[in-house]
Amino acid sequence: MMELFIPAILTIITAATPLLFAALGELVTEKSGVLNLGIEGMMVIGAITGFVTVHLTGSATLAILASLLAGAIMSSIFAVLVLKLHASQVPTGLALTIFGIGLSALIGQSMIGVAYQGLPVISIPVLSSIPVLGELLFKHDILVFMSIVMVGAVMWFLYRTRYGLILRAVGDSHEAAHAMGYPVIKIRFLATLFGGAMSGVGGAYLSLAYSPLWVEQMTAGRGWIALALVVFATWRPGRVLLGAYLFGGITILQLHAQALGIGVPSQVMSMLPYLATIIVLVIISSDRSRIKLNSPASLGKSFHPSR
């Protein structure tokens, strides 16, 4: 039994990690009142940037940092357009996704077919030797550990710090926050940069650990799933963690179903994560009062300080 259980849980963890990074970043962005639909584009740019960097330098650390920076640069383009030039957030985010997919395909032409050995596994001394739990919890690559740390860090920032309170205030009422003297545009700009950086790291995990090679459009809709996760979690970091692992489990269900010989077409199994995303959004959308109660009141609304 354990021979099947442990590999299944480990696979769920690897499938959930990129979703967790991207969803946490988007949660902070949306808490500030900005809706960025460009997660898919930022993730795929992070994926190709990390893969090219590790191929050229051989350093996984530099690759992760480069992906983080690439995601932040992509989000800064979005931030300038929507916060400074007051472009509509929805079409701008969609354009960012299209731009990211096209640019990554162009950059990655020479990387197709190139492989990478993957991120090294880190074993925490003593704890990793615990039967079952040691392998499940204390023997992973650096990005898996970092994703869990980021959940705690985001929770602490949003609910235990003054700056987190200010960011939430901006997302709930940018006009009131501006009247109190807070720099709304600056706060939203920084939150958007953070969201892009986390999406870039999530993309890096795909090309450096999950499938250590480059394939065009390798994000395969994970950016949209991350968007749905934020709503599913009602904008709470702890629930994002649970949701990411739930969707991660659905994602790898197709692999284990095929291994067990379940006679379901592979195409049907492949669409399960996206079908689950649609079902979750339909269920949540049916309760509008719950959405209004939990979502930032100024989400998606432009702020004009001169008015």
CATH number (domain holding residue 272): 1.10.3470
Average pLDDT (221-237) is 90
Model confidence at 6, in pLDDT bands (50, 70, 90)? confident
Q: How far is CA 119 from the centre of its chain?
A: 19
How many domains is the chain partitioned into structurally?
Answer: 1
Q: Cα(35)–Cα(15) distance, rounded to whole angstroms?
A: 24
- Position 80 in a domain: yes
- Domain region containing 286: 2-119+128-294
Predicted local distance difference test score (pLDDT) of residue 234? 86
- Position 300 in a domain: no
Tell me which amino acid residue 12 is.
I
Average pLDDT (77-91) is 94
- Position 243 in a domain: yes
The answer to pTM > 0.85 is: yes
First CA to last CA distance, the chain? 64
Asked if residues 128 and 135 have their Cβ atoms less than 8 Å apart, the reply is yes
